[in-house]
Structure 1
Amino acid sequence: MKLKGSEAIVKVLLEQGVDTVFGYPGGAVIPLYDALYDAPLKNVLTAHEQGAIHAADGYARASGRTGVCIVTSGPGATNIVTGLATAYLDSIPLVAITGQVGVSMLGRDSFQEIDIVGVTMPITKYNMLVRSKEELLPALRKAFALAQDGRPGPVLVDIPSSVQVEELEWSEPQAASAAEE
């Protein structure tokens, strides 16, 4: 079955048992927010990105489940740094999904482009920049597996807007744990 990348993200969230996401929309995640509109997920819109990451952290602490935060690129992504550090130090399972400029614009100092993977490397268990539609599903599934595996903690997945609008072939998860990949 063919899905847009944004629809596939929502489908993986549901597959992983996510019922609530916290976030603040912006240009680089508009395709994802469009897909969330009709999704059977509770979308908690916060006043700003820092509120979103701390709310996802609080949700994870209270529920014992992985918290999910969705923010846009640039300053949207950098606004979650304190929350990621808190989750990292306190071993709280989080998946932060950040938007990014389109793949063709990476490395060109594009509007609101920032290397959020580099910025958050010391305060996440793992992070990744998804550079193609083929990487999207494995990256998201790996993020959820790693957030809970061993000592829990935050994982960041940076997804360019171009990957969110591309069509991809949906595939069911493999039998092996994504953390083993």
Structure 2
Amino acid sequence: MPVYDALHDYHDQLRHVLTRHEQGAIHAAQGYARVSGKVGVCLATSGPGATNLITGMADAQIDSTPLVCITGQVAAHLLGTDAFQETDMIGISMPCSKWNIQVRRVEDIAPAIAKAFYIARTGRPGPVLIDITKNAQVDFGEFNYVPCLGFRSFKPHHPVESLAIAKAAELINAAERTLCIVWTRGDFRES
């Protein structure tokens, strides 16, 4: 995977952990995200390598763990031809991801990654998938990173229900013995 080959150029800025299997990679990324409070990242090749991420994505979705999963895909002109290791990762990952995108052009990689990290950690955290076609991986282009500070189609909104909070406070105050278990975003570091 050309994306994987490019990691060597940034070995002083990125810590790469090699696993023997894609399922190990996604579960390691999930463990990293839970312990560090940061977004976990994993890479997988196309076809069966990409589908091996699904169980970990489903687990991350249930546990609200922020992950960015990057998968390889056949060249854009081969999509829909049943090419070797072509897999509909967008369709497969839809039920177990907050967002997914298939990148077919090199100039769309940076904005997709910025959006992926934003969505993975905003609102209820969870996994996102970026499926990058072979031609987008090997093409050259100008890198222009613009951080994603939000976008129109994704605005998490969590209204505060004052009556529910007042009722909970009333029940806690009236209790003889109170036990509160507080857990947010799957983050155990400060529990």
Q: TM-score range by the shorter chain?
A: 0.7 to 0.9
TM-score w.r.t. structure 2 length? 0.76
Structure 1 spans left out of the alignment, 5+ residues: 1-28
Q: Which residue of structure 1 lines up, in the alignment, with residue 135 of structure 2? A: 162
Determine if the alignment matches structure 1 residue 172 to structure 2 residue 136: no
1:67 aligns to what? 40
Task: Give the secondary-structure state (helix, strand or coil) at the position aligned to 2:131.
Answer: strand
Q: Does the Cα contact within 8 Å between 1:88 and 1:124 map onto a contact in 2? A: yes
Deviation above 4 Å: which 4+ runs of structure 1?
Answer: 178-181
Q: Which residue of 1 aligns with 2:71?
A: 98
How far apart in 1 are the matches of 2:109 and 2:9? Answer: 21
Q: Which residue of 2 aligns with 1:35?
A: 6
Question: Which structure shows the higher strand fraction?
Answer: 1
Structure 1-normalised TM-score?
0.80
Name the CA distance, whole Å, in 1 between partners of 2:150 and 2:7. Answer: 24
Provide the aligned length of Structure 1 versus Structure 2: 151
Identity %: 55
Pick the aligned partner of 1:127 from 97, 100, 114: 100
Cross-structure match for 1:50: 23
Give unpaired runs (5+ residues) of structure 2. Answer: 154-191
Larger Rg: 2
Spell out, residue by residue over 1:129-164, the C-alpha distance to the aligned partner (whole angstroms, 9 max, x if none).
012123211111000000001000000000011101
* Aligned Cα root-mean-square deviation (Å): 1.3
Distance 2:82 2:145 in 1: 36
AA at the equivalent of 1:49: E
Secondary structure, in 3 states, of the residue corresponding to 1:43?
A: coil
Higher relative contact order (CA 8 A, sep 6+): 1
Distance in 2 of aligned mates of 1:63 and 1:111:
37
Aligned partners of 2:104 and 2:135 also within 8 Å = no
Maintained 8 Å contact 2:41/2:68: yes
